[in-house]
Amino acid sequence: MSLNETAYAKLNLALHMRKRRADGYHEIETLFAFTEDGDRVGLTDGGLVVEGPFAGVLGNDSDNLILRAANAYRAHFGGAEAGFRLDKNLPIAAGLGGGSADAAAALRLLCARDGRDPLSPELVEIAAALGADIPACLGSILALGQGRGDELATAEGNLAGAPVLLVNPMVPMPTGPVFKGWDQVDRGPLAGGDALGAALAGRNDLEAPAIAIAPVVGELLGLLRAQPDVVLARMSGSGATCFALFPDADALAVADRAVAQAQPDWWRLATRLR
């Protein structure tokens, strides 16, 4: 049994805002994808230890979503307490679902320890109560999300292995103000059919409010969209991380070097989709 799990970075290949709900959430349609890399979560005897390049930003917060997930799991199933080690490799407030992915990885670890199915209805219900992205992060596969993003369906097509570059301009982007900045105009649903085609025909309705808050996001998108052979460049979630898909590893490497030369202080991750 593995005592470690990757908390795979979440991307929104498209994110369509449909309406604001009375409960304060938003009705969305999104196409989730996940990269091969992300944070790392390990099972320990007790407490929470946070390490890694972004550990100082997060700290050993007792309200960390990992511990909330573990407490919810134990409240439902019982069993021994667990501790965790988090290697925080992804930026904070970055649109990559970092906290949600960390919590999902913790739930997978507890299920592995106890011999439970992490995709069982009980686990999905626990995950949804903790956060809208966590059910998608449990499986960490290409999926369509509706409702708050926690109503999941299988996406057509297979993007596994697709080279992707993630770039963050090192500007934290708080989710609330970005969602509040959406103009509440419904620009239509996601297209059906193949996931890549749907993504190419889609959009991220939160790009405009994110750019209004941090204009550097627009600069980043312009840089990515100018790269040779780029297939799709878009902001993920509520930002500020943006991504670019490429047809092959060589095109990815060229873009990675170009971004590093243009903006050496920006965070980058050259990886592949799962």
Instruction: Give the active site residue among 133, 150, 205, 256.
Output: 133
pLDDT in tens, 230-266: 999 999 999 999 999 999 999 999 999 999 999 999 9
Q: Is 10 a catalytic residue?
A: yes
Q: Are residues 147 and 13 in the same domain?
A: yes
CATH number of the domain that residue 211 is part of: 3.30.70.890
The domain total for the chain is 2
Instruction: Give the active site residue among 10, 37, 87, 205.
Output: 10
Query: If we measure between CA atoms, which residue out of 160, 239, 247 comes closest to residue 204?
Result: 239
pLDDT in tens, 24-81: 889 999 999 999 999 999 999 888 999 999 998 775 565 689 999 999 999 999 988 9
Full-model pTM: 0.96
Q: Are residues 97 and 209 in the same domain?
A: no
Q: Is 61 a catalytic residue?
A: no
Q: Are residues 257 and 225 in the same domain?
A: yes
Q: Are residues 101 and 136 in the same domain?
A: yes
Residue 67 domain boundaries: 4-154
Q: Is 70 in a helix, a strand, or coil?
A: helix
